[in-house]
Amino acid sequence: MQTKTEIIYNPIIQGPLPVTKLLTLNNGFCYGAEVTFTGKVRPDIKADSKVTAIEFEVHYKLVIKEIENIIAECKKKFGIINAGVWHSTGKVSAGETCFFVKVESQHRKESFKGLQYIVDEVKKRCPIFGKEILKNGEYVWKENTSLK
Amino acid sequence: MECRIEYYGVLSEIAGRVSEEICFERPFKTFELKKHLITLYPEFGKHTLIIFANQNRCESDTLITPGSKIDCMPPFAGG
């Protein structure tokens, strides 16, 4: 009989996320589908200057609680088997990864739907704040305005 | 009654502090807290304030009781 191997992981990581390491994490099961989302810091233009990095601040307890709730909801809604969410705290440069989600299920449809749900809900519900550092030395506070 | 309040993101920058104690004469609703905070820090009025009490998100008419731990946040920016 196959027994579940619990992964004890920390969803909040200081600095850019180690994507290669996260991709190869294995929980001992072999599912039919595994899909991932990789969110990177965009070199947007803000206040006439280029964004070179984001400094993230995280409300640790609330983020952990919300991630647990969102994954539980996703399992119930879409029948996924497992999911992991990671987000950066601290400084992440443009082009580096700050957000990573992995979803596993028997078939691809549940994984795709589950992934979309988790990404949207984390952005909407997790208390994470970001200061966009500009090339000219100034900064602007980032807001996910489309999800207010 | 006294409550501990913590500020996050741009709000801690405006307040010039990450936390403080606030005093009310009676239990208060979230909208009253927001009004009070905007009186203390008028710049808060330019932002949407999101309030959690004891790790639960508060609606405008949620009653906040003595000793609650309050988190006051701007809109989120994760992802």
Q: What is the ipTM of this complex?
A: 0.90
Domain assignment of residue B78, yes or no: no
Looking at per-residue confidence, does B76 or A30 come out higher? B76
- Looking at the complex, does the CB of residue B21 fall below 8 Å from at least one CB of chain A? no
Residue B79 domain flag: no
Query: Each residue's pLDDT tens digit in chain A (148 positions)?
Result: 434 444 457 899 999 999 999 988 876 667 899 999 999 999 999 989 999 999 999 999 999 999 999 999 999 999 999 999 999 999 999 999 999 999 999 999 999 999 999 999 999 999 999 999 999 999 999 988 655 4
The minimum CA-CA distance between B44 and chain A, rounded to whole Å, is 14
User: Nearest by CB to A126, which of B10, B71, B76?
Assistant: B76
The answer as to whether B56 is a domain residue is yes
Could you tell me if B56 and B71 are in contact, meaning their C-beta atoms sit under 8 angstroms apart?
no
Q: Is residue B49 part of a domain?
A: yes
Per the structure, how many domains does chain B have? Answer: 1
The domain that holds B54 is classified in CATH as 3.10.20.30
Cα–Cα distance measured from residue B40 to residue A71, given in angstroms and rounded to the nearest whole number? 38
**Structural domain for B64, as ranges:** 2-73
Chain B residues touching A144 at Cβ < 8 A: 75-79
pLDDT, mean over chain B: 94
Domain assignment present for residue B39? The answer is yes
Please indicate whether, in this complex, the C-beta atoms of B74 and A141 are within 8 angstroms of each other: yes
Task: Work out the number of other CB atoms within 10 angstroms of the CB of residue A13.
Answer: 20
A chain contacts of residue B55, beta-carbon cutoff 8 Å: 61-62, 65
Distance from CA of B31 to the nearest CA of A (A): 18
Backbone angles phi and psi of B10, in degrees to 5: -60, -25
pTM, whole model, 2 decimals? 0.90
Spatial contact of A98 and A88, defined as CB atoms under 8 Å apart: yes
Q: Looking at the domain assignment, is residue B17 inside a domain?
A: yes
